[in-house]
Amino acid sequence: MTKVIVVGATGLVGGSILSILEERNFPADEVKCLASERSAGKSLPFRGKDLEVRTLRSEEFQGYDLALFAAGGAVSRDFIPLALDAGLEVVDNSSYFRMDPSVPLVVPEVNPEAIGKARLIANPNCSTIQCMAPLFALDRVLGLKRVVYSTYQSVSGSGVKGLEDLKEGTSHAYPHPIRDNLLPQIDDFLESGYTKEEMKMVNESRKILSRPGLPITATAVRVPVPFCHGVSINVELQRDFDLEEVRDLLDSQEGLLVLDRPKEGIYPMPRDLVGTDEVYVGRIRRDLSVPYGLHLWTVADNVRKGAALNTVEIAELLLQRK
């Protein structure tokens, strides 16, 4: 059995991690919830009991085996080295360590072997995660030549403040109101004109797929939807294909479900998929503008599959290697 800490337990992702640990009967004989001082003293339900939230301090790591971080980059920067020094293994949801060459960036259905003997594993960006299984399946057999992402990202990707902005019509999480609007900006703009979110998708995809030179571009858009991200994926492949072959490849890929009967109005939609564990793919069709082009549409619950579940699945892999 393992003694586990959830850091950021009162947030959307931290709370979902706690629920998934319970649902999957994760073999933890003790779970501790840590958060900021303003959340200390709250109670969170777990396995029929109430867990008191404690203030995040370095001494709280003593005597524990595994820490699951869901509290943002600054917290990860300051506290993950302390957790590692205390002997814990760590799975981190923030972007802080993702592109560190010494830190594996893992989607368990795609590159579990990347974990190796590492004690710190990074969880990818939520939008990146849902694109990896379909791209991995295609690359394995047909070869990727180029990838173009267009994202439709829900407000829960900004946490509770994003959900409040959608409900109240305010703009606390965003530079403009999100209600009845589309914002072609997620995170800050870089000198290149891309946003940090867009470049996360580019760089993380290359790392996870072990394709450092793969041409990838992205446009990331925030949409007025509470949960589940959509991503339109346009790819150029290295050889020709037929659509049934593509559907079979996707259908056999772990973590993917094909939902593709567009003439019947059946395709992945956020309102249908909240709380689900898989990545759903539909609108599978040729890109008629290039010889080996393909369009895909993916939807996944960004809080659950795009963050919390992937974290717990990585933790399960860490336990398996012992």
- Measured from the Cβ of residue 207, the count of other Cβ atoms closer than 10 Å reads 21
Distance, in Å, from the CA atom of 70 to the CA atom of 88, rounded to the nearest integer, reads 16
For 21, the token pair is: 């640990």
| Among the listed residues 117, 107, 116, 76, the one whose alpha carbon sits nearest the alpha carbon of residue 93 | 76
Distance, in Å, from the CA atom of 182 to the CA atom of 222, rounded to the nearest integer, reads 6
Residues forming beta bridges with residue 68, ordered by sequence position: 6, 91
3-state DSSP assignment of residue 182: coil
φ, ψ of residue 8 in degrees (nearest 5) = 85, 35
Burial of 143 (0-12, 13-18, 19+ CB in 10 A): middle
| Annotation says 126 is catalytic | yes
3-state DSSP assignment of residue 250: helix
**Ordered alpha helix ranges (H), 28-100:** 73-85
3-state DSSP assignment of residue 85: helix
Q: Where are the beta strands (DSSP E) in 155-273?
A: 216-222, 229-237, 256-258
Catalytic residue among 33, 131, 228, 229: 229
φ, ψ of residue 163 in degrees (nearest 5) = -65, -40
Distance, in Å, from the CA atom of 192 to the CA atom of 199, rounded to the nearest integer, reads 10
Angle between helices 126-141 and 196-209 (to 10 degrees): 40
Catalytic residue among 33, 126, 131, 228: 126
Residues forming beta bridges with residue 153, ordered by sequence position: 222
What is the Cα 116 distance to its own chain's centre?
21
Q: Which residues are catalytic?
A: 126, 229
